[in-house]
Amino acid sequence: MNIRFNILILLSAFLFLQACAPQAKLLNDQEARAEIKKHIQKLASDEFEGRETATPGEKKAYEYISSQFKKAGLKPKGSKSWLQEFTFSDGVNIDQKSTQLIVNNFIASIDEDFYPLSYSANGIVTGYVIYAKHGIVDSALKHNDYLGIANMNKKIFVIESGTPEGNSPHGKYGEWADLRKKIDLAVSKGASAVIFINSDTTQDKPKSGWSMRTAPSSVPVIFAEGQVASILKDSIVTNCTVGVSYEKILKNGNNVLAYIDNKAPYTVVIGAHYDHLGYGEHGSLYRGKAEIHNGADDNASGTAVLIELGRYVKAKKMNKNNYLFAAFSGEEKGLLGSSHFVKNPTVELGNVSYMINMDMVGRIKPDEKTLIINGSGTSPRWKTLLDSVSVDGIKIRDTESGVGPSDHTSFYLKDIPVLHFFSGTHNDYHKPSDDEDKINYDGTMSVMNIIKNVLHHTENSGKLAFTKTKEDKNEDAPRFKVTLGVVPDYGYDGEGMRIDGVSDDKPAAKAGMEAGDVVIQMGEHKVHDMMSYMKALSKFSKGQTVKVKILRGNKEMEKDVTF
């Protein structure tokens, strides 16, 4: 009797809790449109301060997004409830006391007389100084600034930051405008530290900002100006001390992950990045004082549609697949959040049928009504499907490549079919003027309804087949004189350029290079980071064969690459 009574009590409590759990309501288009507008108005408000990753604005955004997912009846699927945290490097803290320059007992002031450069290693050096003019040795130009200088080992090298014809990269001395090339040569000749000066004031001095895309060299590197620069060049220096001390600033970003678990064999991932540029210090195309970049189209629009698709799938009881709804952060800093997710997935990636990415879906042009869908070549299913999903007279223009400057790339590189929905570029891109009042809500609803059609058409399709594509068919892909045919790992901050993906039938693939390989040298050009990789790539021509050194694990290998 008591046992039956207890069971009834427990059952009643369970049913009560189920009744109290959030239940998604199936909205009509007018209601969904109002919700999307509410989301964009909130996310793109000044309150969120541009939603830059690892800022209070990001926190407000992920709290709002997770609350909306919860309200829609979805379940958390992050590593910490709704959130999946990731760590990234974002600048450095410079120790003002240990970063020093002393010349002939003249104590220079940091920022006023000198500043460290991104190429610098940590360390303190005391020694003799040699002045190496422009620091150039070039047999083709019959130029050798080191000729006649003896006993260079463990000296502090003072080098002009420009070239004899300026610091333009397009002249005959163009490649010597690259400070890294001068540093590498100086180190090979025995430099224990490098001090750049700029005697020609018509030339630009090196940038003082610290770039995390630049890997440090093996010695301290600074730029000196004013009185101390004159002493270094024109006086007899009896003693010199150069010290640089800094530590990387590590910050944490957060993906927001929500799940509908239908106990199905396969999962569909639907994603959008919610971060933007904050006050525009990095990545802005606006030239003026710092202002909040609200990013209404980029990408409050995609995030708003993501939330409402979660509500729709839940309320519609679509149960043939599981559904992961992912609001990624760190996209504007290099696909950091999505890259972290695919390397630390909270669902089995092998069971992901496909991934949909929405990045800038709020500005369909009313007079043209064109929607760009990238990734149509990543599964044989897409081409025929995309012919039958359009609504409201929207013209679909598709490109085949699965590689592009947004989060779908991270999934494509894991052999997952992708579609990237994009309503097109506009003059407000990455500017403070990307505000909510410019959103075309009718067009945004059309995009969401097209995505709904994709979801319904694939509900009984099982796991979609994957096909690799050629990125040069994507009109948004960057173009170079030559290409290696790889996707760099933008989250990698070690020495060299680590490969995240290799495209079929491209030079890297033909040479046997693989994802995970780290490029450390191309021809005679050392690769320390993304910047030096790009500069090295610009030196080669189509049809040229060069030796490329890579690290595969701890093993150094050399590949013959033909562009």
For the chain, give every domain's residue range: 23-90+251-457, 96-244, 480-562
* Tens of pLDDT, residues 379-394: 999 999 999 999 999 9
pLDDT band at 16 (very low <50, low <70, confident <90, very high): very low
Looking at residue 22, what is its pLDDT?
54
252 neighbors 86 (Cβ within 8 angstroms): yes
Which of 291-307 are b and which e, b meaning 16 or more Cβ less than 10 Å from the residue's Cβ?
ebbbbbbbbbbbbbbbb
Residue 161 pLDDT greater than 90, yes or no: yes
* Tens of pLDDT, residues 409-438: 999 999 999 999 999 888 899 999 999 999
Cα–Cα distance between 195 and 179 in angstroms, integer?
11
Looking at residue 71, what is its pLDDT?
97
When mean pLDDT is compared across 16-30, 422-436, 450-464, the lowest value belongs to 16-30
Cα–Cα distance between 40 and 395 in angstroms, integer?
24
Closest-CA residue to 313 (of 72, 519, 108): 72
Looking at residue 476, what is its pLDDT?
36
Mean pLDDT of 64-81: 96
Question: At 350, which amino acid appears?
Answer: G
Residue 496 pLDDT greater than 60, yes or no: yes
Mean pLDDT of 10-32: 65
Which CB contacts under 8 angstroms, 24+ apart, belong to 260-265? 260/74, 260/75, 260/310, 260/313, 260/314, 260/322, 260/323, 260/325, 261/75, 261/322, 262/318, 262/319, 262/320, 262/321, 262/322, 262/323, 263/322, 264/319, 264/320, 264/321, 264/322, 265/351, 265/462, 265/463
Mean pLDDT of 184-213: 90
* Tens of pLDDT, residues 320-337: 999 999 999 999 999 999
Mean pLDDT of 241-263: 96
Question: Tokens representing 441?
Answer: 């809500």
What are the angstrom distances between the C-alpha of 54 and each of 43, 59, 90, 149, 326? 16, 8, 10, 50, 17
HSE-up of 76 (CA within 13 Å, CB side)? Answer: 14
Average pLDDT, the chain: 91
401 neighbors 379 (Cβ within 8 angstroms): no
pTM: 0.77
Secondary structure E strands in 61-105: 75-76, 83-94, 100-103
When mean pLDDT is compared across 319-333, 494-508, 543-557, the lowest value belongs to 494-508
Cα–Cα distance between 65 and 179 in angstroms, integer?
44
At a CB cut-off of 8 Å and minimum separation 6, what does 558 contact?
547, 548, 549, 550
Looking at residue 54, what is its pLDDT?
97
Looking at residue 23, what is its pLDDT?
65
Q: What percent of the chain has pLDDT over 70?
A: 93
HSE-up of 115 (CA within 13 Å, CB side)? Answer: 11
What's the CATH number of domain 480-562, 2.30.33.40, 3.40.50.300, 2.30.42.10, 3.40.50.10490? Answer: 2.30.42.10
* Tens of pLDDT, residues 25-49: 899 999 999 999 999 999 999 999 9
Looking at residue 6, what is its pLDDT?
53
Residue 497 pLDDT greater than 50, yes or no: yes
Domain 23-90+251-457 has CATH 1.10.3720.10: no
* Tens of pLDDT, residues 342-401: 999 999 999 999 999 999 999 999 988 999 999 999 999 999 999 999 999 999 999 999
Looking at residue 17, what is its pLDDT?
45
The H or E element that residue 452 is part of is helix 441-457
Q: Which CATH class is domain 96-244?
A: alpha beta
Residue 11 pLDDT greater than 90, yes or no: no
